[in-house]
Structure 1
Amino acid sequence: MALRTADILYKDRLAGALTETAGRGTRFTYAPGWTEDIACCFPAVRREHEWARGLHPFFEHLAPEGWLREQQARVAHVIEEDDLGLLLRYGADCIGAVSLRLPDEIAPAPEITEATASPGRTVSGIQKKLLVVKDGNGFRPAASQGLAPYIAKFNSERINTLVRNEALSLRWTAAVLGANEVTKFELAHVSVVEETALIVSRFDRGARGEKLRLEDCAQILCKPRGQDYAGKYDAAYEDIASIIKRYSARPPIDLLRFYRRLLVFALVGNCDAHLKNFSLLETPAGLRLSPAYDVLNTAIYDGFDQTLALTIGGRKVNLDAADGPLLRRFGLEIGLPTRAVDQTFSDLKRQVRKAAPIITPPAAEGPDGFVTRFAEIVTNACLRILGE
Structure 2
Amino acid sequence: MSLPIIKYCPGTLSEGFDTYSQTCLKRLFNGRKVHHILPYDSPASNPETDEVFEDSRKTISISGVQEKFSVLQDKNKLRLVKEGERGTHILKPIPVVGKRNDQMPANEHLTMQIARQVYGIETAENGLIFFKNGTPAYITKRFDIKEDGTKLGQDDFASLAGRTPQTHGEHYKYLGNYSELFQLMETYLPAYKLEAPKLLKVLIFNYLFSNGDAHFKNFSILETSMGDYRLSPAYDLLNSRIHVQDQDFALDDGLLTRNMAQGKIGQQFAILAEKSGISRKAFDNIMSLMLTHSDKVERLVKACFLNGSTKRNFWQAYQGRLKQLSKT
| Bin for the TM-score computed over the shorter chain | 0.7 to 0.9
Q: For the residues of structure 2 that align with 1:256 and 1:350, how far apart are their CA atoms?
A: 18
Deviation at 1:271, TM superposition (A): 0.7
Q: 2:259 & 2:140 partners in 1: Cα distance?
A: 30
Q: Does 2:325 align with 1:385?
A: yes
Asked whether the equivalents of residues 308 and 317 of structure 1 are also in contact (C-alpha less than 8 Å), the reply is no
Q: Give the paired residue count.
A: 268
Deviates more, 1:258-267 or 1:137-146: 137-146
Q: Distance in 1 between matches of 2:131 and 2:300?
A: 26
Please give the residue correspondences for 1:146-185 in structure 2 after superposition, counting only pairs within 5 Å.
Answer: 146-158=85-97, 159-178=101-120, 181-185=122-126
Q: Which shifted more, 263-272 or 142-151?
A: 142-151
Higher Cα Rg, which structure: 1
| Change in CA separation of 1:145 and 1:232 when aligned onto 2, cut-off 3 Å | same
For the structure 1 residues 340 and 137, does the alpha-carbon distance in structure 2 shift closer, same or farther, using more than 3 Å as the test?
same
Contact 1:307 1:317 in 2 (8 A): no
> 1:123-165, CA deviations, whole angstroms, 9 ceiling, x for partnerless residues?
2111011101236876331112344100001211232221111
Cα deviation 1:77-133 (Å, max 9, x = unaligned)? xxxxxxxxxxxxxxxxxxxxxxxxxxxxxxxxxxxx954242444221110111012
- TM norm structure 1: 0.63
Q: Secondary structure at the match of 2:165?
A: coil
The answer as to whether partners of 2:105 and 2:138 remain within 8 angstroms in 1 is yes
Distance in 1 (alpha carbons) for counterparts of 2:134 and 2:322 = 38
Aligned to 1:217: 157
Cα distance in 1 for partners of 2:264, 2:150 equals 40
Q: 1:116 to 1:290 in 2, by over 3 A?
A: same
Structure 2 alignment gaps of length 5 or more: 1-42, 44-50
Aligned to 1:307: 248
Mind listing any 5+ residue stretches in structure 1 that lack a counterpart?
Answer: 1-67, 69-112
Query: Displacement, 1:378?
Result: 0.7
Question: How far apart in 1 are the matches of 2:246 and 2:116?
Answer: 25
Counterparts of 1:1-388 in structure 2 under 5 Å? 115-118=53-56, 119-134=58-73, 139-158=78-97, 159-178=101-120, 181-189=122-130, 195-225=135-165, 229-285=170-226, 286-301=228-243, 303-310=244-251, 311-315=254-258, 323-360=265-302, 369-386=309-326
Letter in 2 for 1:166: E
Change (3 A) 1:316 1:234: farther
8 Å contact kept, 1:187–1:197: yes
> What is the TM-score normalised by the length of structure 2?
0.73
Deviation at 1:355, TM superposition (A): 3.0
Task: Tell me what 1:62 maps to.
Answer: none
CA distance in 2, matches of 1:316, 1:294: 30
Q: What is the RMSD of the two structures over their aligned residues, measured on CA atoms?
A: 3.0
Report the Cα distance in structure 1 between the residues aligned to 2:105 and 2:260, rounded to whole angstroms.
27
Q: Quickly say closer, same or farther: Cα 1:134–1:196, change in 2 above 3 A.
A: farther
Percent identity over the alignment is: 25
Deviating above 6 A after TM superposition, structure 1's stretches of 4 or more consecutive aligned residues are 135-138
How far apart, CA to CA, are the structure 2 residues paired with 1:130 and 1:249?
34
